[in-house]
Amino acid sequence: MALFTRTLCAAVIMAAGALSPAAAQEITLRIHHFLPPQAPVPANFIAPWAEKVAQESGGRIAFEIYPTMQLGGKPPALFDQARDGVVDIVWTLTGYTPGRFPGTEAFELPFMPANAEATSQAAWKFYEKYLTAEFTEVHPIAVHTHGPGLLHVKGKGVEKLEDMAGLKLRGPTRQANALISALGATPVGMPVPAMPEALSKGVIDGTAIPWEVTTPLKVAELVDSHTYFAGTRGLYTSFFVFAMNKARYEALPDDLKAVLDANSGLAASKWVGQVMDTGDAPGIEVAKKSGNRMIMLEEAEVERWKAAAAPLVEQWIAEVTAKGYDGAAMVADAKALIAEYAGNQ
């Protein structure tokens, strides 16, 4: 609570400090999200983004940041909170509401992501081409992904595909859960804040998450091993949106809209992707210091996992094509955009 209070006060004081005699605070925007304030994205994107916007508005916009669902509700409610004007801006996963944003799942398919910086820029371009109709109820500021996801497991860990059998693994989204099932384990869906307790109580044997969130949630203390994958593409990722209430945005004066617009889009998506990538390093270091096993699956073994997961791609293409999308083109474009921004990575 003390850290939250400092975060909130910093946002408000920062905005007030930007005031000039000719300017007065006009608007306070409340940002709501689901992680602790010290997690990488809240600390290194949301808070500095709010500070930057407030400064560039000349102090006319101030922000209040509410972490860990402090304004009420569960993480799956965040999108609707922004849509309905319960709060002004949210940061959330589209996968918390399965089936609602089918197009975003193109980025959540098996072995799709490169690093978060590249994949997040690709995600924004993909959003502009394919996904605007899915987000008409809000005003998107950025979309992004986390870095390549991996497995964090109790016991001896996962060294080969057969080791997945019998494991109960937390998955973040519909596609991640389908992947866990296709690989032989039992998926258990839940928002990430619920995962540490599920691990500690033995409800699950492990979890699929990126490195960056392991530190604030102390995952290294709850598991014994971490399995990641050779190659240029990770096991999976999740699709995120940083979005504003549409009516609140449209009611802004044109000059303040311009400030928001200058801090939205491709550059904002790249920024939060960079934060995700940078946040991976502390998680890796904590896991090593904890003495946990670091298991790298070599390329020949990874090919076995890709073969087991391949039917999920064709299944997704068929599903979204039946809904009026061009599923095959979306998969091809997602891969091409990621390759464009990832370069040789």
pLDDT of residue 21: 35
pLDDT of residue 22: 39
What is the spatial distance between Cα 277 and Cα 5, in angstroms, rounded to a whole number?
27
> Can you tell me the distance from the alpha carbon of 186 to that of 154, in angstroms, rounded to the nearest whole number?
15
User: What are the tokens at 97?
Assistant: 């509401």
The reported pLDDT for the residue numbered 15 is: 41
Alpha-carbon span 266 to 144, nearest angstrom:
10
How far is residue 66's CA from residue 80's CA, in Å, rounded to a whole number? 16
Going from N- to C-terminal start, the domains of the chain cover 1-345
Indicate if the alpha-carbon torsion angle 149, 152, 157, 162 is positive or negative.
negative
| Type of residue numbered 267 | A
Is domain 1-345 annotated with CATH 3.40.50.300? no
Query: Which residue stretches of the chain have pLDDT < 70?
Result: 1-25, 344-345
Question: Shortest CA distance to 76 belongs to which of 114, 23, 32, 135?
Answer: 32
Q: Where are the beta strands (DSSP E) in the chain?
A: 27-32, 61-66, 89-93, 138-145, 150-153, 168-171, 186-189, 206-209, 225-229, 239-245, 293-297
Contact 210, 175 (CB under 8 A): no
What per-residue confidence (pLDDT) applies to 11?
A: 45
**pTM for the whole structure:** 0.91
> Which residue's entry shows tokens 């890796």?
284
> Angle CA(334)–CA(339)–CA(272) in degrees, nearest 5?
75
Q: Residue 106 forms beta bridges with which residues?
A: none
What does the alpha-carbon distance between residue 15 and residue 85 come to, in Å, rounded to a whole number?
22
